[in-house]
A and B are shown apart, each in its own frame.
Chain A
Amino acid sequence: MSVAARARARALGVRERMAIAWAMGLVLGAAACGLAGYAARALPPPRPLEELSYYPSGAHLEPATLGHAETAADLAWLRAIQYYGEHRLADNQFARMGHVFDILTSLAPRFEAAYEFGAFALAQEGRDFPRAERLMLKGIAANPGSARLAFQLGFLYYVQPGGRQLRRAAEYFQQAARLPGAPPQAARFAAYARQHSGDLVVAYSLWEDVRNHSQNHYLREIAQKEMEKIRRALETGRREMAVRKLPTPVVLLK
């Protein structure tokens, strides 16, 4: 068949071509919708929306960053550090710091350093321990597998200005010790905090763990000593042999 004959045979009018294009468009569109729905269900974004609803201001800000929340968080981080530095050198007044770190961590819930720095700055220089505690708990909720954050929360309770919360500290040190990537000191901090909170039985088993698993013979010796102290205290009923009142942490800003 000649080119002309073939062209005559298959020449489609404008309407036919439009109809074919529309039909293909609709079929492909349906496929695209299906894939998008699947992706939304099976491959959710790294930040589930419901966890952000606890911090409405941060949640409202995120959509405005148009998918660049991490970058916006970084820029907010730079700003937060500047804010901290300026006020640390000037008036030691950090009224907006809580809000800044709240926004920052809402934009980037996996930005662990922001929780850490923010919580300690709020607790110490900011003199706002409840807010610091909320920030760290938010971090742990968003990063349940983070040994670093669990350990830092434990430490936050441990150095709480005006009165350590040793039981809480121990709880989080223990949680940290159980998670992959735990700081090596988490286990013994847990044991220490339990011991001096008065929970000698638990402390004993924690020290036992340290003794049995630590690679450092010096730490194993310390663990052994503390275990003996606790045993003697429990046997004699004289808890003061194993439990010591630790000094109250204070914040001194010069």
Chain B
Amino acid sequence: MNAGLIAQNTFREATRDRMLSGVMIAGLVILIATQVMSPLALGEGLRLTIDLGLSAISMLGLLVVLLVGSSLVAKEIDRRTIFNLLSRPITRPAYLVGKWAGLAGALWVVTAGLGAGLWLVLLSRGNADHTASILQATYLAGLELSVVTACAVLFSSLSTPVLSALYTLGLYLVGQWSYDLRSFAGHVPAPLSTLLGTAANLAPNLPLFNMRTLAAAGELTTPWHLAVATAYAAVYVACVLCLASAAFESRDFK
């Protein structure tokens, strides 16, 4: 229940922050821009719209995670507003879970909003047949952002906002390359291959949430893929929040 209250409060903070409305506006501007650029694409305007639209959701969401998520806990410690919370009967894990849930919730709202905007643009072009693939791609983008938000909460509870943003970005990059790392690990000798394999496992497996290629062609992914992606996101987020709780438990607030 306390985690829910913290989540509600964090959601309120995120949605009252001008950043989120700025991001929504930026996303809508990008969608409009795709329609302006469409005639230049020699008949591939649909592809352009879907690709840029879905990329905008991911990139703008990542921007929010880096700017807001990385200071989520660090800012509270810095400004000492955390004293008012942790001196109440709330456990530290509940606090972290609440922080994650609040920001992830706000990001789902942004994802859904921009996804709906993309869908409306496609409808206006007469491409209603892409609804299902857009829905799937948007859902996976939301899962991806939830995973990256958990990483941001972990770093934010241990470090300053700037360092936390850098660590989160670093982990995001390694996560995007995780399939490449696995592949390289298979072609290099022993100690390096172990290192690469470990990095690929530790970093979030972000390509799992990427179906932009399929969506561009209007194709759907399998329900099994969606199920595996959902399960992976849930397990990874839980793992990261447990580790954050372990580290946060002994933290002193001077």
Q: Is there a direct interface between A and B, measured as CB atoms under 8 Å apart in the complex? A: yes
Q: Is A77 an interface residue (CB 8 A)?
A: yes
The stretch that binds B, out of A63-71, A194-202, A230-238, is: A63-71
What residues of A have a CB within 8 angstroms of the CB of B28 in the complex? none
What residues of A have a CB within 8 angstroms of the CB of B25 in the complex? none
Report the bound CA distance from A180 to B4 in whole Å.
Answer: 52
Report the bound CA distance from A31 to B249 in whole Å.
Answer: 23
Main secondary structure of the interface of A (DSSP, over half): helix
| A45-B210 CB under 8 A given contacts A17-B249, A18-B246 | yes
The stretch that binds B, out of A105-113, A125-133, A203-211, is: A105-113
Main secondary structure of the interface of B (DSSP, over half): helix
Q: Are B231 and A35 in contact, CB atoms less than 8 angstroms apart? A: yes
What residues of A have a CB within 8 angstroms of the CB of B236 in the complex? 28, 32
Q: A156 to chain B: closest CB distance in Å?
A: 18
| A68-B205 CB under 8 A given contacts A49-B180, A74-B47 | no
| A45-B93 CB under 8 A given contacts A36-B201, A68-B58 | no
Q: Are B42 and A25 in contact, CB atoms less than 8 angstroms apart? A: no
Q: Is A56 an interface residue (CB 8 A)?
A: no
Hey, what's the 0/1 contact readout for A28-69 against B, CB within 8 Å counting as 1? 110111011111101111110100000000000001001111
User: Which of B42, B211, B228, B239 is within 8 Å of A38, CB to CB?
Assistant: B228
B222 to chain A: closest residue by CB: A43
Hey, what's the 0/1 contact readout for B223-235 against A, CB within 8 Å counting as 1? 0110011011001
Number of A-B contacts (CB under 8 A): 139
What residues of B have a CB within 8 angstroms of the CB of A39 in the complex? 205, 208, 228-229, 232
The stretch that binds A, out of B16-24, B78-86, B106-114, B213-221, is: B213-221
Q: How many B residues have CB within 8 A of the partner chain? A: 54
Q: Is B126 an interface residue (CB 8 A)?
A: no
Q: Is A82 an interface residue (CB 8 A)?
A: yes
Q: Is B171 an interface residue (CB 8 A)?
A: no
Q: Are A77 and B44 in contact, CB atoms less than 8 angstroms apart? A: yes
Q: Are B176 and A111 in contact, CB atoms less than 8 angstroms apart? A: no
Q: Are A81 and B246 in contact, CB atoms less than 8 angstroms apart? A: no
What residues of A have a CB within 8 angstroms of the CB of B235 in the complex? 28, 31-32, 35
Report the bound CA distance from A35 to B178 in whole Å.
Answer: 13
Report the bound CA distance from A202 to B204 in whole Å.
Answer: 55
B236 to chain A: closest residue by CB: A32
Report the bound CA distance from A35 to B239 in whole Å.
Answer: 13
What residues of B have a CB within 8 angstroms of the CB of A71 in the complex? 51-52, 54-55, 212
Q: B22 to chain A: closest CB distance in Å?
A: 21
What residues of A have a CB within 8 angstroms of the CB of B246 in the complex? 18, 21-22, 25
Q: Are B55 and A21 in contact, CB atoms less than 8 angstroms apart? A: no
Report the bound CA distance from A240 to B235 in whole Å.
Answer: 72
Q: Is A78 an interface residue (CB 8 A)?
A: yes
Q: Is A24 an interface residue (CB 8 A)?
A: yes
11 additional contacts, CB 8 Å, given A28-B236, A45-B179, A117-B42? A35-B205, A35-B228, A40-B182, A43-B228, A45-B213, A47-B213, A63-B180, A70-B55, A77-B44, A82-B40, A110-B216
